[in-house]
A and B are shown apart, each in its own frame.
Chain A
Amino acid sequence: GAGVSQSPSNKVTEKGKDVELRCDPISGHTALYWYRQSLGQGLEFLIYFQGNSAPDKSGLPSDRFSAERTGGSVSTLTIQRTQQEDSAVYLCASSADRGRIGELFFGEGSRLTVL
Chain B
Amino acid sequence: QKEVEQDPGPLSVPEGAIVSLNCTYSNSAFQYFMWYRQYSRKGPELLMYTYSSGNKEDGRFTAQVDKSSKYISLFIRDSQPSDSATYLCAMSKGNSGYALNFGKGTSLLVTP
The verdict on B101 contacting chain A, using a C-beta distance below 8 Å, is: yes
Least Cβ distance of B43 to chain A in Å? Answer: 3
Q: Which of A40, A56, A95 contacts B8 (CB 8 A)?
A: A40
Smallest CB–CB gap between A7 and chain B, Å? 14
**Bound Cα distance A109, B42 (Å):** 7
Q: Which of B32, B46, B96 has the most CB atoms of chain A within a 10 A radius of its CB?
A: B96
Chain B CB within 10 Å — which of A31, A35, A48, A101 has the most? A101
**B-contacting residues, A69-115, CB 8 Å:** 91, 93, 95, 97, 99-109
Residues 32-47 (chain B) with a chain A CB within 8 angstroms:
32-34, 41-46
A42-B6, A91-B43 as given contacts; A101 in contact with B96, CB under 8 Å: yes
Contact with A104, one of B51, B100, B105 (Cβ below 8 angstroms): B100
Inter-subunit contact B97/A48 (CB<8 Å): yes
Binds A, one of B64-72, B76-84, B87-95: B87-95
User: In the complex, are the beta carbons of B43 and A50 less than 8 A apart?
Assistant: no
Choose among B41, B45, B49, B97 the residue that contacts A100 (Cβ–Cβ < 8 A). Answer: B49
Question: Could you say which of B6, B43, B95, B99 contacts A106, with CB atoms under 8 Å apart?
Answer: B43
Is there a chain B Cβ closer than 8 Å to A55's Cβ? yes
Which among A101, A103, A108 is the interface contact of B95 at CB below 8 angstroms? Answer: A101
Task: Contact check, A56 vs B99: say whether CB atoms are below 8 A apart.
Answer: yes
CB-CB < 8 A to A95: which residues of B?
A: 96
**Contact, CB under 8 Å: A102 / B88:** no
Q: Is the CB of A103 within 8 A of B46?
A: yes
**Contact residues of B with A, CB < 8 Å?**
6, 8, 32-34, 41-46, 49, 51, 88, 90, 92, 95-105
Other 4 A-B pairs with CB < 8 A, given A42-B102, A102-B32, A102-B92:
A4-B43, A40-B104, A56-B99, A105-B45
